Amino acid sequence: MSTKFSFSVSAVDGQARTGVISTPRGEIRTPAFMPVGTAATVKAMMPESVRATGADILLGNTYHLMLRPGADRIERLGGLHKFMNWPRPILTDSGGFQVMSLSGLRKLTEEGVTFSSHVDGSKHFLSPETSMEIQRKLGSDIVMCFDECPALPATEAEVATSMRMSMRWAQRSRDAFGDRPGHALFGIQQGGVTRELREESAEALRAIGFDGYAIGGLAVGEGQEAMFGVLDYAPGFLPEDKPRYLMGVGKPDDIVGAVVRGVDMMDCVLPSRSGRTGQAWTRRGQVNIKNARHADDPRPLDEHCSCPACSQYSRAYLHHVFRSGEMISGMLLTWHNLHYFQELMAGLRGAIAAGRLGAFVAEFESQRAEGDIEPLTVERG
């Protein structure tokens, strides 16, 4: 196994690439989808089940883990991998995004952000230096720079000011991270939906030098068209020989569109969160399992899916356990959703390798356009 962090592209198709990120904790096949394990668990899933869906890497949230159970405690208990029983690669975010979206009273200065915990109101401070220290204690394989995400809506001038501070913070993150063989530090491109700012940000990051580059500040409510508009040029400003990570994306069609535009890694709470609210994602679009049409339906959610929810249970059962508030409902639907997302990634990787991504995308779109299978007409005697 590799003792270093490295990335190699094995095939390209248009802007899309497929390859492998090698780390001492295992390989990450790209394009990769990272399930989110916010509080040291992918909710409703055992780690070995997450692995069985095809996940090579998980995302952990620095903000949540630093507040509860605390980075020092996780370090004393042997690090996040051991703590949560996931021996494979883990990427941690910097905490910055969630400080802005979740915490109470906060004060932002050039030095960093002081905020109060949403758990117990206690005071905390996050800066490039403290974020690097916390992510080191967690034992993260891929560490993210501490950056600032401006609250939307923001003017172009506000986005520019925020982006330039994030670039100064990127340099401080790089300095604080130091030299840690086998661990990677990713810079984060900002700049909103303005091409010149995206280019300026990318140049600043390239001058510092990172092991990978994220495209930040998207999937925050701007809509798919605006996001794809940025992705038409933003990945091209980043180095070709390093992984490109689109943070917080997304729905299956967002993922396909991002991969087509040259993105290598993504993460999203969507498959697990939807699984707990009765929403299933299938190759034929979204299925709302709580709808009455499923109550008498003995057919699987997706007859082509090999996950436990589809191979061992009926729509009628999935409907019943959701309506009854049974825990197995969230477990089965989360498993199915994660399985579907990973199958989609495997399909994209195979299509890029075979040089038939265009045909794959056309098939993906036509299956979704068909919509869910027709409801059954039930004869009641």
Binding-site residue positions for Zn(2+): 305, 307, 310, 336
What are the C-alpha distances in Å from 223 to residues 160, 199, 256, 326, 362? Answer: 20, 21, 15, 34, 22
* Residue appearing with tokens 């840690």: 180
**For Zn ion, the closer CB: 137 or 336:** 336
As a whole number of angstroms, the distance between CA 283 and CA 193 comes to 30
In the set 56, 254, 264, 267, the catalytic residue is 267
Which of 25, 172, 261, 336 forms a contact with Zn ion (CB under 5 A)? 336
The interface with Zn ion within residues 293-332 (CB under 5 A) comprises: 305, 307, 309-310
Query: How many residues form the binding site for Zn ion (CB under 5 A)?
Result: 5
C-alpha atoms less than 13 angstroms from C-alpha of 359 in its C-beta half-sphere = 7
* Contact of 267 with 90, CB cutoff 8 Å: no
Q: How far is the CB of 324 from Zn ion (least distance, A)?
A: 20
Binding site per annotation, positions for substrate:
93-97, 147, 190, 217
**For Zn ion, the closer CB: 13 or 343:** 343
Q: How far is the CB of 336 from Zn ion (least distance, A)?
A: 4
Q: How far is the CB of 304 from Zn ion (least distance, A)?
A: 9
In the set 13, 56, 93, 264, the catalytic residue is 93
Which residues, 6 or more positions from 305, have their beta carbon under 8 angstroms from its beta carbon? 282, 311, 336, 339, 340, 343
**For Zn ion, the closer CB: 149 or 310:** 310
DSSP 203: H
- What is the DSSP annotation of 228-260? HHHHTTGGGGS-TTS-EEETT--SHHHHHHHHH
Does residue 253 have an active-site annotation?
A: no
Does residue 296 have an active-site annotation?
A: no
**For Zn ion, the closer CB: 338 or 352:** 338
Binding site per annotation, positions:
93-97, 147, 190, 217, 305, 307, 310, 336
Q: In Å, how far from its chain's centre is CA 262?
A: 16
List contacts with Zn ion (CB under 5 A). Answer: 305, 307, 309-310, 336
Q: Which residues are catalytic?
A: 93, 267
